[in-house]
Amino acid sequence: MKRRTVIGLEIHVQLTALKTKLFCSCSADYRHSPPNTHVCPVCLGLPGALPVVNKEALRAAISVCLALNGRVADRLRFDRKHYFYPDMPKNYQITQYLEPICREGYLEIEYNGRTKKIRIRRMNLEEDPGRLVYPAGSPLHSPYSLVDYNRAGVALLEIVTEPDMESPEEARLFLEKLRSILEHLGVSDPSLEGAMRVDANISVEGGERVEVKNIGSIHEVERALMYEIVRQNSLLDKGVKPKRETRHWDPAHRVTIPARVKETEEDYRYMPDPNLPPVRIPAELVKAVAESLPELPDKRAERFVREYGLPRKTARVLVSRKLLADFYEDVVKMYGGDPRRAANYIVNDLLNWLKDYGIKALYSRVPPERVVKVLKLLDEGVISIRQAKELAEVIVKKGVDPEEYVKKAGYVKISDEEYLSRIVEEVFKEHPKAVRDALEKPKAVNFLVGMVMAKTRGRADPVVARRLVLRRLEELRARGASQTSSR
């Protein structure tokens, strides 16, 4: 029985571009630091310590709101959200409840050939809690937990969607687009550990809503949702109604595990923060941020289609990561050739070999000038398309200079017709049935051309090879017609 699935997301995005935390001057660059060394009386919530809002965090939040097509609030107000967990040193979190900084936004995704709007209910500016460390890698198998407060107080955006998604794939597409927007804005680097964490709310028709907390990557979100759909459907098939609860995703074992009964808003005992009185957000500040917004992914994709003649699908792949789009434009500027050839080579060849290293290794492992060299070797007829594809693996894995490698490896395209004619003759003798098929069926010519390429280890010029094969077939047809008429 197919049951409708409803999915909503709560995305927690660190503003990693900021140098200091949201309410104090502690460094926000806490990664790789010894535990509990980036702390002070303010972010630890010690008596008498007073928070002061980071103005750059406010500007960053406004830019994200505008990029998400949202409505910026007229004033900045903070509330206290009370809960007693070990990762919150104050036993409350400074967040926004009654007056979020952003409301009524949306993002559009492309799914199954159609455009779908995912509404954004609200976006809050808040402080990040600390980090729980599990010695065994999972709360299920660790005998104890450790707490590191270095992350406590880092500026965080909580982006809450409406339950508009109906599949794990839609959730993944939404998060990928959000990641690209954040990268283009320059406010966050979601590839950093803990910089983008997701709480996924999911319910299958007939059951209650389940929240899966603290999922650390986009692909893990998709996996967690797929697991929950199977788990909840399995319970319903047995006549058991899934209960409303909070669960944790265990990426090591790829299962969700029960954490606690789901809280309600009343459980958090929200109250206005007395140390942070509401302040008006100046309209001129919002206007200044709007005017300074960079080119965002959708507009950039449209420009790639218009300016470079790219297919929409290829353009969307390129803008899915800012680093990738920047890399492509650097290649195009240095290349001076067909921008479509450059896009196809990057998307269809280079990216396949970069998966093992991650997109952040793009410039370090494959400088744009090396890609330009490959494209020019291809344009000049020195190498074939097949050899260019082989070079993609070599320059990614070994970091070699394409021109030097081509010389050492003998990557020279063979265009000599006398030599290739001899190869064609050998192929015709070795594959008489294929020759007979090619005389009757034009598509069978591809096999003979492929055999010529194989005999030359991909070095034959495919255009010349095809022309010689077709010429030899015409000679055989003419000879056959001549013999028939003489009879």
Class of the CATH domain delimited by 417-486: mainly alpha
Q: Which pLDDT belongs to residue 1?
A: 67
Instruction: Give the range among 133-142, 176-185, 291-300 with minimum mean pLDDT.
Output: 133-142
| Pairing mode, strands 102-111 and 114-127 | antiparallel
**Per-residue pLDDT tens digits for 232-248:** 999 999 999 999 999 99
The owner of tokens 């094969």 is 469
Mean of per-residue pLDDT scores for the chain: 91
The two structure tokens encoding residue 235? 């319970």
pLDDT of 484 over the 60 cut: no
**Per-residue pLDDT tens digits for 309-355:** 999 999 999 999 999 999 999 999 999 999 999 999 999 999 989 88
Among 258, 240, 239, 241, which residue's Cα sits nearest to residue 249? 258
Q: Which pLDDT belongs to residue 325?
A: 97
Q: How far is CA 380 from CA 37, 72, 224, 328, 383, in A?
A: 58, 54, 49, 21, 8
Q: What residues does 371 pair with on adjacent strands?
A: none
Start-end of CATH 1.10.10.410 domains in the chain: 417-486
Q: Which pLDDT belongs to residue 486?
A: 52
Residue 485: how many other CB atoms lie within 10 Å? 7
Cβ neighbours for 132, distance < 8 A, ≥ 6 positions apart: 86, 87, 139, 145, 146, 147
Residue 443, phi then psi, degrees to nearest 5: -65, -25
**Per-residue pLDDT tens digits for 22-31:** 999 999 999 9
Residue 199: how many other CB atoms lie within 10 Å? 19
The listed range with the strongest mean pLDDT (66-70, 255-259, 417-421, 480-484) is 66-70
Q: Which pLDDT belongs to residue 64?
A: 98
Please state the rounded mean pLDDT for residues 287-302: 97
Measured distance CA(119)–CA(70) in Å, rounded: 10
Residue 9: how many other CB atoms lie within 10 Å? 25
| Pairing mode, strands 79-82 and 255-261 | unpaired
Residue 29, phi then psi, degrees to nearest 5: -90, 75
The two structure tokens encoding residue 227? 């697991």
Percent share of the chain, pLDDT over 90: 69
